[in-house]
Amino acid sequence: KHMAKLIKAYGDNVKDVDISTLKDMQNIVGGYIEIVHISAEEMLIVNEEGLLFGLPFNSEASELAGITILGDAILTTRKEMK
């Protein structure tokens, strides 16, 4: 299993979510995924249509990414994505 941290737009982060498959990641973010690289090792997986769907602002994920992130986001590493 590949595990990651879920950063929810409304707080209540979840430490270990299963991101073993594309479907797992899509279910968690609620649609098509987009990967936002935040460092050489870390990345966020977000809903690529967050603006279109009017998803809520995610302050913690936005701070990590240095850009506006809407909706729930998955924080993971390159190692977990292999």
**pLDDT 10s digits, 64-82:** 999 999 999 999 998 888 7
**What are the φ/ψ torsions at residue 46 (nearest 5 degrees)?**
-130, 170
| Mean per-residue pLDDT of the chain | 95
Q: Are 80 and 21 in contact (CB under 8 A)?
A: no
Bridge partners (DSSP) listed for residue 4: 17
Residue 42, token pair as written in the block: 């870390």
* pTM, 2 dp: 0.94
Cβ contacts of 81 within 8 Å, gap of 6 or more:
2, 19, 43
Residue 81, token pair as written in the block: 């994505």
- Structure confidence at residue 11 (pLDDT): 83
Which one is predicted more confidently, 12 or 8? 8
Cα–Cα nearest to 2, from 16, 15, 19: 19
pLDDT of 24 above 90: yes
